[in-house]
Structure 1
Amino acid sequence: MDTPPAVRARGITKYFGEVVALDGVDLDVAPGQIHGIVGPNGAGKTTLLGLLLGLAVADRGTLEILGTPVGRALAVSDGVAGFVDGPGLYPSMTAKQNLTALAALRGDPTQTMNIDEAIAQVGLTDVADDRVRGFSLGMRQRLGLAAALLTKPKLLILDEPSNGLDPAGKKHVYGVLTRLAADGTAVMLSSHRMDDVEQLCSEVTILSTGRVAFSGPISKLASEDSELDYRVLTSKPAAARRIARQTHGIRLRDDETVKDGVELLIISAPIPSLDEFVKQLVDDGIAVRELAPVVSPLEAAFLALTEQQETN
């Protein structure tokens, strides 16, 4: 029998007074998928995640979570865990006491992960007996993830999970999410960091003014024919500039900079022209020391799609 999608939404609409927070949102999230929700402030990201966590109900549309239709009553579906607007924690309790209290609310110990295991997974073993009031924002985020892991979720909802994390903490948390997805858990996360979404997510939904501007694989956002700006650092910048002028489809920008005493070229090009440019550099014995988009393909598509949506 086919496994039902973790999330299936059709025409989801949500009002707050006269404000339309979500306007006919369709969404599909498969088990084992890490799905990003991105959009400008006020686009409806938190509202959508709140609906999935049972914190609110849609005014119109249909929503199925883990194969079960969501009714009108406020309720969290079995197998769903996570947080929006930061995890709710008791500051006067230790990390372990917080998780012990949450596990007790579940009632059935077979439905919860071992508390020490959950704390270890998010890298907080050394501070398990410290009071949460002394935790940094990143540590609170990690403890919130541990609290969600207690329920062995099949659908994990996270709002800005990298908020406050240092590079080591981010790497640790992203390792946890990747392993969860590999074991079949669907993960939905919102983030303002496009590089984080590109690194973690296989698919993304871009919201703008409560509507879906795009939903699908991230790879579909970057068309080979679309033109992006790239930073190019070479061993011979003057020669690279000459080749750039001679390569069809390459446009040299005027805002060159200097890195480590070497001129850094800024060019605009579609992928085929960029490939030809790099090939010509190599053929001429010019070393390419750095080649990176000025703005990531996801961020470029995000800006284009949301600006287009807002003008419609």
Structure 2
Amino acid sequence: MRSTPVARARGISKWFGQVIALDEVDFDVAAGQVHGLVGPNGAGKTTLLGLLLGLARPDAGALEILGSPTRHTLEVPVGVAGFVDGPSLYPALSARQNLAALASLRGTYKASAVDDALEQVGLSDVADNRARGFSLGMRQRLGLAAALLTNPRLLILDEPSNGLDPAGKQHVHQVIRTLSDDGVAVVLSSHRMDDVAALCTDVTLLATGRVVFTGPLAKLAAESDETDYRVLTSDAAKAAVVAADTPGLRIIESGETLVVRGPVLAIDHLVIRLVGAGVALRELTPVMSPLEAAFLALTHTEPPL
């Protein structure tokens, strides 16, 4: 089931005037897979999501959704649901009325289905409140509920955790995991590496419209050769001397807290050398996650100072 192709792109390109938004992109999503789509602003993520949702068509290449080539007409393929740049809602209508209106437009309205969708995303208690009073996180959850009404086989989500508090984020994460377990393919675009790490099995990284990495999440995390680590010891001055003498390490910041940069093997040697020098190691933490480090390395982005 999980090897079944749900979305398949080969060499797709899209341009707007002289601007190349996507440049010969290959992209595969299998049933039951949560596939992360990441990249800097302007990388082409929104354009690719729009193609998957049928909001635009590629100018070159081939795109198949649920086993069928996309047509030249602009329409959401049957079995596909989601949102880009946030869900569109009727602000004067309640959450329940919004979902009922959308279901009625499709000719699939069932009161029980609307109630089930609201319960799935944790909005039952505010089902009769007008959407204009909803927070950003509540609007995101209502957009997810609208997508669930269609029982999609391919779900497209753009920053689904945007505006959510920790409890709301965990609730949405659980909904996505349940959908994946049921065989739904999910394409999730996010700037938050913690969301990607928590949910995705595979990831595609875009930069300036091109794929710079695609594959298992663990492989992306291993793409960064060097990582910054924060080192807290019993003797900061002595630790800095030991670090400066450790092959493969660079000191990024010294003082009460030491920040060093290097491959994992060099960090291991540092720990051994500190213990040998009689310096107690109290904290050794990555300044950023391996995923963030790989993201910055592959997109040639400098980390903030």
Change (3 A) 1:165 1:286: farther
Q: Which amino acid aligns with 1:96?
A: R
TM-score (norm 2): 0.89
Aligned to 1:141: 140
Offset at 1:38?
1.5
User: Which secondary structure does the structure 2 equivalent of 1:252 belong to?
Assistant: strand
Shift of 1:254: 2.8
| Identical columns (%) | 64
- Secondary structure in 1 matching 2:4: coil
* Aligned CA distance change for structure 1 residues 127 and 232 (closer, same or farther; 3 Å): same
* Match in the other structure for 2:58: 58
CA distance in 1 between counterparts of 2:51 and 2:5 reads: 16
1:289 and 1:200, CA in 2 relative to 1: closer, same or farther beyond 3 A?
Answer: farther
Give the CA deviation at 1:141.
0.6
CA contact (8 A) 2:226 2:264 kept: yes
Deviations 1:108-137 (A, max 9, x none): 468x97222211121112111100000011
Question: Within 5 Å, which residues of 2 pair with 1:100-179?
Answer: 100-108=100-108, 114-179=113-178
Tell me, which stretches of 5 or more residues in structure 2 are unaligned? none
Once the two structures are superposed, residues 256-312 of structure 1 have per-residue CA deviations (whole angstroms, 9 ceiling, x without a partner) of 4xxxxxx3221112112223434565788866554332232222222222238xxxx
CA deviation digits over 1:72-101, x for unaligned, max 9? 121212211100011011101100111111
Distance, in Å, in 2 between the alignment partners of 1:282 and 1:155 is 52
Q: 1:212 to 1:224 in 2, by over 3 A?
A: closer
Mapped to 1, the partners of 2:19 and 2:238 lie a distance apart of 56
Q: Secondary structure at the match of 2:172?
A: helix
Whether the 8 Å contact between 1:113 and 1:149 is mirrored in structure 2 is no
2:278 is the alignment partner of 1:264: no
Specify the alignment match of 2:25 in structure 1: 25
Structure 2 equivalent of residue 259 of structure 1: none
Report the CA distance shift for 1:224/1:206 in structure 2 as closer, same or farther (over 3 A): closer
CA shift digits 1:4-51 (9 cap, x unpaired): 312110011112222221111100111111111112222111110001
Q: Is the 8 A contact 1:4 1:66 kept in 2?
A: no
Task: Name the SS for the 1:219 alignment partner.
Answer: helix
Distance in 2 of aligned mates of 1:225 and 1:106: 47
Checking the alignment, whether the CA contact within 8 Å between 1:194 and 1:298 is kept in structure 2 is yes
Q: Relative to structure 2, which stretch is displaced further, 49-58 or 232-241?
A: 232-241
User: Which residue pairs with 1:297 in the alignment?
Assistant: 290
Could you say which residue in structure 1 is the equivalent of 2:198?
Answer: 199
Report the count of equivalent residues: 301
- Contact 1:4–1:67 (CA<8 Å) still a contact in 2? no
Deviation at 1:241, TM superposition (A): 4.1
Separation (CA, whole Å) in 1 of partners of 2:224 and 2:80: 40
Looking at structure 1, the residues matched to 294 and 249 of structure 2 have their Cα atoms a distance apart, in angstroms, of 20
Counterpart of 1:292 in structure 2: which amino acid? T
Change over 3 Å in CA distance of 1:291–1:178 after alignment to 2: farther
- CA shift at 1:158, angstroms? 0.8
Work out whether residues 113 and 150 of structure 1, in 8 Å CA contact, stay in contact via their aligned partners in 2: no
Structure 1 unpaired stretches of 5+: 257-262
Is the alpha carbon distance of 1:153 and 1:249 closer, same or farther for their aligned partners in structure 2, counting shifts above 3 Å? same
Looking at structure 2, the residues matched to 161 and 136 of structure 1 have their Cα atoms a distance apart, in angstroms, of 13
1:231 aligns with 2:233: no
Aligned to 2:43: 43
